Amino acid sequence: MATSLTGQPTAPSAVSVLDGERRVQVPLDEAASLLGISKWLAYRLAHAGELPTNRVGRNLYVPTAVLRRAERGLPLAEGGAVA
- For the stretch 32-80, pLDDT in tens is 999 999 999 999 999 999 999 999 999 999 999 999 888 888 887 765 4
Give residue 16's pLDDT.
66
Helix ranges (H only) for 1-83 are: 28-35, 39-48, 64-71
Q: How many separate domains does the chain show?
A: 1
Q: How much is the average pLDDT of 3-10? A: 52
Q: Within a domain: residue 44?
A: yes
Q: Within a domain: residue 14?
A: no
- In single-letter form, the type of residue at position 25 comes to Q
Q: In this structure, what are the phi and psi dihedrals at residue 5, rounded to the nearest 5 degrees?
A: -65, -25
Q: Within a domain: residue 33?
A: yes
Cα separation of 25 and 71, whole Å?
15
Range of the domain at 52: 25-71
Cα separation of 32 and 70, whole Å?
11
